[in-house]
Every structure is written in C-alpha cells, then in structure tokens.
Chain A
Amino acid sequence: MATVRLPAIRLDSLALFRRGAPAYLSVAALVIIAAVLLPLVYLLLRTIDAGGSAWDLLSQARTLRVLGRSALLAAAVVGTATLIAVPIAWLTVRTDLPMRRLWSVLTALPMVVPSYVGGFAFVSALGPKGLLQQLLERPFGVDRLPEIYGFLGAWLCLTLFTFPYILLSVRAALWGMDGAQEEASRSLGHGAGRTFLRVTLPQLRPAIAAGGLLVALYTLSDFGAVTLLQFNSFTRVIYLQYEASFDRILASVLALLLVAFTVVILLVEQRARGKAKYHATGATRRLPVVRLGRWKWPAVLLLTLVVLASLGLPASVLLYWLAQGLANNVEVSFLGSAMTNAVYASALAALVAVIASIPVTVLAVRHAGRFSRFLETASYAGFAMPGIVVALSLVFFGAHYAPLLYQTLAMLVFAYSILYLSMAVGSVRASLLQVNPAVEEAARSLGRGSLHVLATITLPLVRPGIVVAFAMVFLTAMKELPATLLLAPIGFRTLATEMWSATSSGFYAKAAIPALLLVAVSAIPVAILLRREPRGDMGAR
C-alpha cells in the first residue's frame, strides 16, 4: 500500500517569507504580475468558454496553415539573417577590413528601421508600379518586377531589418573570446580555416542562438511588415479577423496559438543554452588580426551590398517621398499633435513600467526563491506576447468588464507597460546585480527599515539602470503600432498610426515625415547599444 506523505509546510519554507522579504514587496510584485498575466489569462478563459467550437477552429486546416506559414517565415528569416550576420561579425571584429569601425556602425543601423517603415520602403520601391520599376521602365522597358507580396517580400524585408540582432550578439561573443585558444589550436597543427570551424564557430553558437531567438520572436510578433507585404502569418490573420468579421473566438484561438508557439521557441532556446555553458574566462590574450589579403575587396563588396539593401533602400525611398511631399506642399499640420500624443503615452508607459519593475526586480534579485523566480519569469510574459495579442485581449476585456477604461489612454498605457515590463526589469536587474547586497545589509544594521533602505540606498544606486529602462521603454513605445491601432482612444493618433494610415491609403508622401521621425527615435536606443561595444582597433583593447 502506498502511503501519501504530505510535505510539512513551515513558515519560512513559504518563499514569500524567506529571508525576510518584506510583505509590501511580495504583495506589490504579485499585483503587478497578475496585471501582466491578465491578457493571457483572459484570452485563455474566453477560449475555454467557447469550448468545442474553439477546438474545431484550432484543428482546422486553415489554422494549421497559418501556424505552418509563420513557422516557415521565422525559420527562413533566422537562417538567412545568420548567414548574413556571422561573416559580417567576423569581418568587422577579427580582420584588417578597411574602415572597420564605419562598417560596424553601418551594418548595425538597419535595426533602427521599424518593420512597418521597412515594409513601406519595400512596397513603395519594389511593388508593382514602384520606384524601381519606374526607374527601369524607360531605359530597359521593364514593366513587371517579380511579385514582392507574400512570402518572398516578408522574408527579404524581415531578414534585412533583423540580421543586426544576430550580428551584435555574435560580435560581442567574438570580442569576449580568448585569443589564446586560437593560438593553442594553431600550435596543435590546425590551419586558420580549421581553427575557425572547430574552435571559433562552436563557441559562437550560444551567441547565434541568443540573437536568433530575438529574430524569431521579432518575426513572429511583427505586424507591420507582414501586413504591408500581405503575408498571412499569425499577426495579419488575427488583425483581419478582428477588423473584418470581429470573430472573437477565431482571433483568440489564433492569438493563443501564437503565444504557445512563442513559448515553445523560448523553451527550446533555454534548453539549448543550458547545455552550452561556454565561459569567457576573461579575455586575457589580444585577438590576432586576420589579414584578408586578396579577399579584402570581395569582403567590401559583400558589405556594400548588404548596407545598400538594408539602409540605402529605405533611406532613398523615404528621402524621395520627403522631397515629393515638400515639393507638393503636403499636409504636415498633423505632426505636432501626433508627436505630442506619442511622447505623452510613451512617457507614461515608461514611468509605469519602471515603477512596476522595481518590486519585481528587488524580489527576484534579493530574495531568491521559487516564488520570486516565478514572478520574474512571469514578468517576461510580455516578451512572449506579441503586441497584437495583448491589444486584442484588452479590447475584449475592456468591452466586457471595463467599459469605463475601454478606449481610454489608460488602457493604451497599460498595454504598453505589459509589453515592455520585461525590458525595464532586464535593465534594472542588470544594475541591481552590480550593487553589493552587503551595502543594503549595512544600512539595515544601522537601524533603518527595509523601505527606507530601498529609498535611500538601493534606488539611488540603481539609478543608471532606471534611467536606461525609462529611455528604452519610452523609445520602444514611441514606435509601437498594433496595440496603438487597436487601443488608442478615438482621435488619439500617434506618429506610428499616422504613418500607418497614410501608407495604407497609398499616400506615401504624407507617410515619409513621420517615418523619418520614427527612424530617428529608434536610432537612440541603438546608439546606446552600440556605445557599449568595444570600439576602435585591436590595439586599443
């Protein structure tokens, strides 16, 4: 006979009370996490409510085709982005490529192009009767370009604007590598090529996986590019369902499936990372510079092509339409209020996200336990939830349970905060990890309570992290599109929605100015990111 043994529960084995985590922290963190999980839970409840019909929808061939298409797109984009990013990373870190620093910056810059701006550039330049076709028509009589809409367009567009995520991650890994390992391999009789394949490349795998994860998540949650390029992946189908038929059940089912798919990818990546524990043992040896020799010019050619396609194309399209707009005196009066609205909503969101990140982070870092680990993981839910999913759920929830909040600014700020809480937590966490906990204990031992210590010691010390968190959330929310489309109060238009409606109605000249402003806005976090990279030549390390 098997006997059931009940675990003995003791006061301090409840992680809530472990190591004296103050109750106000635990309660605040719990409330925040409940709010973050609200959209997901609500979608889940609604779908379960629908019961059998939801299951039918889920098993329909149409639904599975959407899943297949999205998975294929994500895999294709990650694959090509890796193929572009790894050689460029190696060329810009390890070789005597001419003007290396310039190429480093230029190849990272495509990140600043929001996907819907990239999609706009693609459609406008490469679409039927687009700029390229017009350019080629007179001299060569070209009246048709290969079809840009659908998989091909979405694949190319997303690859060109996301490969920098892998590039930066791989570059960081290359910088951190110990040159002595390669020298050891050479001394053991392996040539440069074999050394790269057997020593360098295997160590880049975690970096490629980390960057690839970002690219895959970006692709799955992307709304702008796939919608403009008319590829029926999850986000576009969900939006169309919502817009056209208002089929809540189908939209919910698709949204949940998308979240589930994202979670699977996150889990797979985590598994892969757990197995691959490569430590940079603190780079001690300077990395040897590889001489390119006669490969120098092919390398420059490759970089030129990539930069032309990923930066030259959007830049020239935007500048062309800007010039057109200025020449034809296009309407610009909307810009003022669009800018103010975007700044206002984003600043509020940044404030909320930063404040919410503090209890979660302090609990996770200072009072490690199962409970706080759960809270921290849950705070990353926003990372796995595409904007369209959060927005959709909040639309349904608002219409049902919070009519007073529905279509108010508060709802939009709430959605932004959910989406970007993980970003704030990440930044504040990095800062808090730098603070020696003994400093806080010293303050406690001097007779001050935990809340006072939090205010006078911890927060001042993590201020750099808080500032970065605010800036990142602010600048990211500025260019958010799908949640803003679904949740903004009537008449509340931001740069992103103005640009979107101008593009959707084919008024490209009107779209150019907000698009350029958005590019400028997203350039700032990228500049922050790039400044953290080691700069200059090898000798300066």
Chain B
Amino acid sequence: MPLKRVFLPKKLVRMGSATVAPAQGANGTAAGEGLTLPAAYDTDRKTTIISVTGLAKHFPGNHRPAVIDLSFDVLEGETLALLGPSGCGKTTTLRLLAGFEIPDAGEVRLQEKVVASPRAWTPPEKRGMGMVFQNFALFPHLTVAQNVAYGLHRLRNGEKRQRIAEVLELVSMSGLGERYPHEISGGQQQRVGLARALAPKPVVLLMDEPFGSLDTALRSEMRREVKAILQQAKTTTIIVTHDQEEAFSLADRVLILNEGRMAQFDTPDEIYHRPVSRFVAAFVGKADFIPARLLEDHVVTELGVFPLHGTPPPEPVDLLVRPDDIAITPDPGGQGIVVHREFQGSSNLYTVRLPSGLSVRSVQPSLAVLDVGQRVIVRATPDHVVLFTAER
C-alpha cells in the first residue's frame, strides 16, 4: 500500500527576499517504500528569541558583501545550524549576532530588543550570548576553573564555586579544574570551552565551527556528547559549520548560506529531500540531474516515469536523483555500463553510463563489487520528485 505523505505549509520560515532558486522543487512523492518524514518543524508554539531582518555586512576591500539581506528567526530552545561553503558568510553572521561586527544594514533583535543596527549597537559583553570558538580560545594563563569563573563575576563566591562545579560536572570535567589548558587534551579543551560559555546561563549559545579543530574520530564522539549536553542545558544554540553531516545531526533547523545570501532555511529532512535549488541539492549530498519531460501529471525520464504532484517549473526540466535512489543489478542485457568504482570503505560509489551518454551515481554495499565495464540494470526510486529548470 503506497502511503500518501502530507507536507505542512511552512509558516514562520521566511526566505531572504533575494533568494535565488532556479525553480521551486515540485512537490510529489514516489510510490513504494514506507518511509515517513517527520512533520515539518512546528514553529507555531515557540517564542522567538532572535529576530534578524535585512542584515548586511560588506568588509572594505572585499569585492562582494559578506552577508546580504539576511532575515530569519531563531526560536527558543532550538538548535539552528548556519551551513555553507567557506566564504559564504556564516561566520560573519554569527559574529554579527555576537556583537563582534557592526552591520551595515538591517537589525538584530534579541528578545525583542534591538542589539544591532546601523544606528544602535550593543557591545558583546552586554548581550548575554555565550560563544564557543573554533580553537576554543581558552585563556592560557588561567586554570580550567578560572576559565569557567571568568564570566561568573556577578555571582557571590559560594554561588560561583557551586556553578563552576555544576558546569564542569555537566561536561564531565569534574576534578580537572586546577589544570591549565595546555595540560588537557583537545576534546577536554572543547568541553571547557563549552562549560565556560554555558556557565553564565546565556540566553543564546553561539558555536563557531566547534569541531573544526578536532580530528575525525574525536569529532563524531564530541558531536554526540555536545548534543547530549545541549539537550540537557536546554539552551538555544546557533552552530556555524561547513559540514552538512554535522549540521544535520545537531540541528533542528538548518539555514544554508551561499555567497552571503540565504539559500534555504528548513529542517534537515526537508533540505535533503526537497532542496529548493541545484546549489542546495548538490551541497547537502551527492546529486545527479537527469533530463525530464512533463506528461500530464507524470515526469518522464530515461530512468522511468514518476508521478508528479503540485506545480512543476516550466520546461525544460531536470529531475534530482541521489546515489541512494539508484539501484543497479548486474545483467548482461542491462542498459547501463559501470564506468567507475570509488571504494569508500563502508560502501562503493559507482558511476554508471546510460544509453544517452548521461552518467548517474549509485551507492552500493561495501561487498557488492562490480567490475568497470559490467552491464547493469539501472532503476531509480527517488523519494521525492524534485525538479529544477534545466541548464540547457
């Protein structure tokens, strides 16, 4: 029994006015597997903590602005990821929120109060935002406990000690308070950075590439730990990252930036399955685009016919297929030929050439080894039919 999936309209998700999307993805479903998406993130019942409107920043000497006309809201308790390639403006956005940069235009409201606009600017120390830095930026001349105590100057001594113990406990660093930053490991430094930022109970926690300086193995471990700590602390968090996996696993909502502009702002699932532009589609995962024709309420491609729901963009169009939507089975009579195998450890990524000369990629299990030149039957089972105006 095919399941009919319903998508809720996105209410509070405002797009930057200048967002470029070659075409809106057509909403549609492919019949088949019984996977259900979580309901689109429910933005109705939560309070807005940060509200950004028309934010822009241009550093003198750069040929293009770092951030242009950016507008979005951050809701209480959520974790939001600012995701994009390097130079997309995500760190600038974070620094504008923190108060380390002054915007050229637009404003930032923190709990209804304007903290940054071209006329008014609240210095970072008056904003009550905690920040975790890429290299943690621990004070090298202070011990772990003194680092954590630095932001607790408004507390009395007894309370201060208690709070230090609390947050060190939260990040599993109890007993290491007397160490100096150079005496602890990278992962521990990360935890101290987090504890220090959380200690004054900030309204919002900002994290700038928090796992960027850790090695790969430690990174995924710290990611899990940080997620648990953030859930426990219930702090509204904004994370800057260039790693889509990190953004998807940590964030409730992801804001994708490209060249200073908002490219898409939605839940991780929506962004992955229904990207609004080719850029987003290719940035958040591997994507191939195959030419398609529209026939009444169907999409006709070289790989088959798929049902179409909603309004498609004007023809000519391309259909988005991801390597995990493409199944290949060895068969001497198959229409595709394996032209390349990339062994990725836990899986194999095959490139298959179709009769039209077009290539698509397919992910197969690690042990499913096919030779280059092997003929295969290619089947596509896209989760969602997403169409873009063709670049032809």
Closest to A438 in B: B137
Contact call A441/B133, Cβ cutoff below 8 A: yes
Of B80-88, B138-146, B305-313, the one with at least 4 CB within 8 A of chain A: B138-146
Size range of the chain A interface in the assembly: 20 to 34
A457 within 8 A of B: yes
Known: A19-B102, A445-B130, A446-B196. A439 touches B138 (CB 8 A): yes
Q: Does A441 lie within 8 Å of B100, measured CB to CB?
A: yes
User: Which residues in A have their C-beta under 8 angstroms from that of B123?
Assistant: 20, 444, 449-450
Residue-by-residue, is A436-461 near B (CB-CB < 8 Å gives 1, otherwise 0)?
A: 10110111111111100000110011
Check: B128 CB closer than 8 A to any chain A CB. Answer: yes
* Given A441-B131, A442-B131, residue A448 in contact with residue B139 (CB < 8 A): no
CB < 8 Å: which of A445, A457, A460, A461 contacts B131? A445
Residues of chain B having any CB pair with chain A under 8 Å: 60, 98-102, 118, 121, 123-131, 133-135, 137-141, 150-151, 153-154, 193, 196-197, 199-200, 206
Residues of B within 8 A of A13 (CB): 60
Q: Are A449 and B125 in contact (CB under 8 A)?
A: yes
Residues of chain B with a CB closer than 8 A to A448's CB: 125, 150-151, 153
| CB-based contact B133/A442 at 8 Å | yes
> Does the CB pair A446–B150 fall under 8 Å?
yes
A439 and B139 contact, CB distance less than 8 A: yes
Check B200–A447 contact: CB distance below 8 A: yes
Least CB distance, A304 to chain B, in whole angstroms? 46
Contacts of B137 in A (CB 8 A): 436, 438-439, 441-442
Per the bound structure, the CA–CA distance linking A10 and B104 in Å amounts to 10
Residue of B at shortest CB range from A439?
Answer: B137
Of all chain B residues, the one with the shortest Cβ separation from A456 is B150
Q: Please give, as numbers and ranges, the residues of chain B lying within 8 Å of A20 by CB-CB distance.
A: 99, 102, 121, 123
Given A436-B135, A447-B153, A448-B153, do A441 and B141 touch, yes or no (CB 8 Å)?
Answer: no
Return 27 A-B CB contacts under 8 Å, by A number.
A10-B118, A13-B60, A19-B101, A19-B102, A20-B121, A20-B123, A438-B135, A439-B139, A441-B98, A441-B131, A441-B137, A442-B133, A443-B139, A444-B100, A444-B123, A444-B124, A445-B98, A445-B151, A445-B206, A446-B150, A447-B126, A447-B128, A447-B151, A448-B153, A450-B125, A456-B150, A457-B139
List A contacts of B140 (CB < 8 A). 439, 461
- Smallest CB separation, A14 vs chain B (Å): 12
Q: A20-B121, A447-B200 are in contact. Are A438 and B134 (CB under 8 A)?
A: yes
In this assembly, does A331 line the interface, its C-beta being within 8 Å of a C-beta of chain B? no
A12 sits at the interface (CB 8 A): yes
Identify the A interface with B (CB < 8 A). Answer: 10-13, 19-20, 436, 438-439, 441-450, 456-457, 460-461
Q: Tell me the smallest distance from the CB of B62 to a CB of chain A, in Å.
A: 14
B98 contact set on A, CB distance < 8 A: 441, 445
Cα–Cα distance between A295 and B148 once the two chains are bound (Å) = 63
State the main secondary structure of chain B at its contact with A: loop
Q: Do A446 and B151 touch (CB < 8 A)? A: yes
Cα A12 to Cα B104 with chains together (Å)? 9
Residues of B contacting A436 in the complex (Cβ-Cβ under 8 angstroms):
135, 137
Q: What is the minimal beta-carbon distance from A367 to any residue of chain B, in angstroms?
A: 12
Closest to A441 in B: B100
Known: A443-B150, A447-B154, A448-B151. 10 other contacts (CB 8 A): A11-B118, A438-B134, A438-B135, A441-B100, A444-B125, A446-B196, A447-B151, A447-B200, A448-B150, A456-B150
Cα(A448)–Cα(B102), bound, Å: 18
Question: How far apart are the CA atoms of A271 and B27 in the complex, in Å?
Answer: 62
Q: Of A19, A438, A446, which is within 8 A of B130 by CB?
A: A446
Nearest chain B residue, comparing its CB with the CB of A461: B141
Which residue of B139, B141, B199 has the most chain A CB atoms within 10 A of its CB atom?
A: B139
Question: Measured between alpha carbons, how far is A31 from B88 in the docked complex, in Å?
Answer: 40
Chain B residue nearest in CB terms to A460: B141
Closest to A443 in B: B150
Which one of B121, B124, B128 lies within 8 Å of A441 (CB-CB)?
Answer: B124
Q: Smallest Cβ distance from B222 to chain A, in angstroms? A: 18
Question: CA of A326 to CA of B356 in the docked complex: distance in angstroms?
Answer: 104
Residues of B within 8 A of A443 (CB): 139, 150
Residues of A within 8 A of B102 (CB): 12, 19-20
A11, B105: Cα distance in complex, Å: 13
Q: Name A444's closest neighbour in chain B (CB-CB).
A: B124
Q: Could you say which residues of chain B place their CB within 8 Å of the CB of A438?
A: 133-135, 137
CB of B324 to closest CB in A, whole Å: 38
User: A239 to B134, alpha carbons, bound, how many Å?
Assistant: 58
What residues of chain B lie closer than 8 Å to A450, measured between beta carbons? 123, 125
Which residues does chain A contribute within 8 Å of B60, judged by CB atoms?
13
| Distance A19 CA – B138 CA, assembled complex (angstroms) | 22
In the complex, what residues of A have CB within 8 A of residue B193's CB?
442
